[in-house]
Amino acid sequence: MYAIVDIAGQQFKVEKDNEVFVHRLEGNEGDSVSFEKIMLIDDNDNVSVGKPFIEGAKVSATILSHVKGDKVIVFKKKRRKTYQKENGHRQQFSKLKIEGITVGAE
């Protein structure tokens, strides 16, 4: 069983016991979070598609840790003008473990 879920504006394919890196979420490590913007659920070839979301479906997860991504370097240069600028940043991510996918009002 898997689901396509919208987390922080991005779509992820999740299954039970998957670990997913998403944009940093509010909450501490060990907190449980749930997402209700489920777009698709596939349960043993029984596919449910939402318009745009499936009513009553929910994905529950636990925040394992908050981490930083790889460093991204932005380098700008204009030749013969003695202009060059270097900038960089590291994106903040949250590591989630998917606990379960529920369908319908339970």
pLDDT digits (tens, 9 = 90+) for 30-65: 999 999 999 999 988 889 898 999 999 999 999 999
Closest alpha carbon to 23 in 92, 98, 97: 92
Which amino acid belongs to residue 81? K
Cα-only R_g, the chain: 19
Round to whole Å and give the CA distance between 101 and 104. 10
Mean pLDDT throughout 83-87?
Answer: 97
Whole-number pLDDT of residue 45: 84
pTM (2 d.p.) = 0.80
How many independent structural domains does the chain possess?
1
**Structural domain for 51, as ranges:** 2-102
Over 60: is that where the pLDDT of 106 sits? no
